[in-house]
Structure 1
């Protein structure tokens, strides 16, 4: 009997100890994710300016004050498009935007983020959005209106936040494979994590654009497994008019550009510039 009672007294202690150790382990994991989440979200590639300037691209606004790359059309530009790229690589990897859009008469600025390419600076939403605001203001001052914003994936969150704050300097924006709120995408990929409390960067594009009121075209890739189309649909549904939704059939997150042609781009730019 004494042995039986001892066993009953021991088991709650063992369960409590195991629960405590599990809780501590979870806290360590969560703390690590919170501290190192920039390494999970941002994948910058460093490169000197001279290795990024090629194929008609030049440093913008200058090599000394590098904020990105620019390509000019053959004729006087009818608009300036600023591209905010996805979370990997650097601006020089997005030359295809310049190739197609300069043929349509647009000046194209491939904006570079702090900490990417040759640029110094810290990663994170606050840093990237503040820097993007400066880029938009500078492009407007140097080149005039209209200024269009193009954001892909992470860049759509940057464009939405910065464009909303610089609304008077923008004519519209193209958001490619975007989300409504970053926490929703994070919860999709990590359903076992309390992402709402762990995330330091929110990129709440739905909230940022709630009163934007200028043309926004949302582009989703039909087979996107990184940012599933439902998050783009949620953003589109939250947007005020004027807005347009496009789905690139059979496309994934990273191959959509190869599935659209110059006519698609012409129609896209025409929608964004309709009021300019």
Structure 2
């Protein structure tokens, strides 16, 4: 009988372990929705391809991160690392990336492992953070004379930018566009609100646990009509953030074209934040 109980216990543990692995895999697929779309690029002559070595992290093997480098006219111009959201790639963000260049910034934009031409694998929260840190080191090499270096994250990329600023003292400012407090908080507003989310969510991206103590200057941008990440999540994140902080709420636009809805105001606000004179 004891042997049977041990066998039953072993089977139960194995099933629970399998269930956790399967659920974690599903979460990663649903949260990242990695896309391999490639094709569109910035104007010829305005960029160069970069290949960055990213270390193993979160059970994800090390691999190459593909990036675009769009230098500014002046080597002293502020430089920023652009971190896109889920289901996107560099190619689907050409307009957003080039808009940053036209605003006067040198731009390094990356595809996380699992996206675009980067290493083909299923990303994980910690692997995305590792990709951003590796890319930040490359930005420092590419723009050693930049007057400021900023991290700019859109949607899920906003949470990655917050983590980068919280763990990298050399980040001079962080821009968070159309982002959220945490995956748990967003999930509570869905049909999954009945689940013990704080216990089962493995990909947390909990910016709300980091922004209060983050002393790095912060600029929060959100479109009032954003239906993917509603403004209320941006409100909460801004309220929880410590100083110094500033904010731009754009009346029109949606989740994926927020800056285009108020291009002049967005550009002027970002240039001031980056230390670019009018």
Per the TM superposition, whether the score is higher than 0.5 is yes
- Give, in angstroms, the shift of residue 62 of structure 1: 7.5
Aligned equivalent of 1:255: 257
3-state DSSP of counterpart to 2:150 = strand
Given that residues 82 and 153 in structure 2 are in contact (C-alpha distance below 8 angstroms), is that contact kept between their aligned partners in structure 1? yes
Query: What runs of 5+ residues in structure 2 fail to find an aligned partner?
Result: 1-17, 54-62
Query: What runs of 5+ residues in structure 1 fail to find an aligned partner?
Result: 1-27
Aligned equivalent of 2:70: 71
Aligned equivalent of 2:129: 129
Larger radius of gyration: 1
Given that residues 208 and 237 in structure 2 are in contact (C-alpha distance below 8 angstroms), is that contact kept between their aligned partners in structure 1? yes
- Give, in angstroms, the shift of residue 201 of structure 1: 0.9
- Give, in angstroms, the shift of residue 66 of structure 1: 4.8
Task: Determine which of 20, 26, 30 is the counterpart of 1:36.
Answer: 26
Is 1:178 matched up with 2:168? no
Worse overlay, 248-257 or 112-121? 248-257
- Give, in angstroms, the shift of residue 251 of structure 1: 2.6
Distance 1:52 1:60, change over 3 A: farther
* Count of residues in Structure 1 that have an aligned counterpart in Structure 2: 244
- Give, in angstroms, the shift of residue 118 of structure 1: 1.1
- Give, in angstroms, the shift of residue 217 of structure 1: 0.8
Moved over 6 A (4+): 28-31
Given that residues 77 and 105 in structure 1 are in contact (C-alpha distance below 8 angstroms), is that contact kept between their aligned partners in structure 2? no
3-state DSSP of counterpart to 2:189 = helix
TM-score in terms of structure 2 length: 0.78
Task: Determine which of 165, 168, 171 is the counterpart of 2:167.
Answer: 165
3-state DSSP of counterpart to 2:152 = strand
Worse overlay, 209-218 or 264-273? 264-273
TM-score in terms of structure 1 length: 0.79
Aligned equivalent of 1:155: 157
Aligned equivalent of 1:59: 49
Q: Which has the higher helix share?
A: 1
The CA distance in 2 between the partners of 1:71 and 1:159, in whole Å, is 19
